[in-house]
Amino acid sequence: MCLNNQQGNTTMLMKKLTASALIFSALFWSAGAHAQTVGPSGEAATPSATITLSDADLAALKGKNYKAALLWHTSSDFTNAVSAGAKDEFAKAGIQIVVQTDAGFDAAKQRSDIETALAAKPNVILALPLDPTTSAEAFRQAVTDGSKLVFLSNLPTGYKQGTDYAAIVTDDLFQMGKQAADALAKAIGGKGKVGYIFHDASYYVTNQRDRAFKTTIEKDYPNIKIVAEQGISDPARAEELANAMLLKNPDLDGIYVTWAEPADGVLAALRAAGNKTTKVVTLDLAEPVALDMVKGGNVTALVADKAYELGRAMAAAGMKSLLGEKIAPFVVAPALTVTKANVSQGWKDSLNRDAPQSVLDAAK
């Protein structure tokens, strides 16, 4: 789930989702295996690519006049891409989207949206519940009506998979952090000193991604040392905090930043210091950091989720539920590393749209 300015109001996102988000079990280690993203009750993650419909499944769905509703938490490039993935998948079975809403990060508005959607009698509902407690009550009528619910990332309190909802679909959060660690390690030659700027708030998306970066560096790269750590809760303070980190550690080889908006502040601090050598990696796509990357600046890579694939997998899970098929309870879409070399394709793979023209022009 993208967290930069292009994806909506970051401050409101943190206020709403930090308070309400389902805190997935963080990370686990199995003998000889890497850590993984896991579900709310420790469920193993199922790759979204395995959630597919056969030709026979699609044939069984066609002609039934099934309807779907998309009840989103906000309007953004991210939700637009999720919607596109869902719509394309539903279209294969002739399922009509009868309602699409934007709650504006307002749980009360989302409850009203649910009531509006139910009047259209959707057979499948895809949604990101903003508040577990409020959503549990708000979605209850949908459960009673027999609508198949597929949730993006969050889960209403007390809901049971297979009874109240079909599946949860989210990002492979561990892989996002791990890929960021791998990209930074590659950029600095597998050795050196790095700074670690993490999200200093209880929010499962950033917490798991941040921990995955740190875990990967400590486990897989013994010649890289995290010598400076700084929590951040207000992206507007990123430049200030980066200045303090660089003052104490002017010879950092690299810096990890929890997401793209504060990374822009870190870049400002590096530029003010005349520092052209410290490499930066961050998560999610945004024009300012992408421009720095393609122009050969400090940013070496951006790691993003596949938002279009999230929507496709959600729709597929909902349709499989309509067919009475058993569905994996916890599904994750893959992460991807975007560099100058693949920025055009990476943007499309993640957000189902072209990269900003300024980025495309600079990458030529």
pLDDT of residue 293: 98
The CA distance from 105 to 75, in Å, is 9
Can you name the residues that pair with 67 across neighbouring β-strands? 96
The CA distance from 165 to 159, in Å, is 7
pLDDT of residue 27: 42
Residues 6+ apart with CB under 8 A from 163: none
Q: Please name each of the domains of the chain with its CATH number.
A: 5-171+307-334 (3.40.50.2300), 173-306+338-363 (3.40.50.2300)
What is the three-state SS of the chain? CCCCHHHCCHHHHHHHHHHHCCCCCCEECCCCCCCEEECCCCCECEEHHHCCCCHHHHHHHCCCCCEEEEEECCCCHHHHHHHHHHHHHHHHCCCEEEEEEECCCCHHHHHHHHHHHHHCCCCEEEECCCCHHHHHHHCHHHHHHCCEEEEECCCCCCCCECCCECEEEEECHHHHHHHHHHHHHHHCCCCEEEEEEEECCCCHHHHHHHHHHHHHHHHHCCCEEEEEEEEECCHHHHHHHHHHHHHHCCCCCEEEECCHHHHHHHHHHHHHCCCCCCEEEEECCCHHHHHHHHCCCCEEEEEEECHHHHHHHHHHHHHHHHCCCCCCCEEEECEEEECHHHHHHHHHHHHCCCCCHHHHHHHC
Side chain identity, residue 39: G
Distance between start and end Cα atoms, the chain: 28
The CA distance from 157 to 84, in Å, is 28
Q: What is the pTM of this model?
A: 0.84
Structural contact between residues 28 and 310, judged by C-beta atoms closer than 8 angstroms = no
pLDDT tens, N- to C-terminus, the chain (364 residues): 666 544 444 444 554 454 444 444 444 433 334 568 888 778 889 999 999 999 999 999 999 999 999 999 988 888 999 999 999 999 999 999 999 999 998 989 999 999 999 999 999 999 999 888 888 999 999 999 999 999 998 889 999 999 999 999 999 999 999 999 999 999 999 999 999 999 998 777 888 899 999 999 999 999 999 999 999 999 999 999 999 999 999 999 999 999 999 999 999 999 999 999 999 999 999 999 999 999 999 999 999 999 999 999 999 999 999 999 999 999 999 999 999 999 999 999 999 999 999 999 999 9
Q: Exposed (0-12), middle (13-18) or buried (19+): which is 164, by Cβ within 10 Å? A: middle
Side chain identity, residue 362: A
Q: How many CA atoms lie within 13 A of 288 on its CB side?
A: 14
Strands 67-72 and 330-333: unpaired
The CA distance from 191 to 251, in Å, is 13
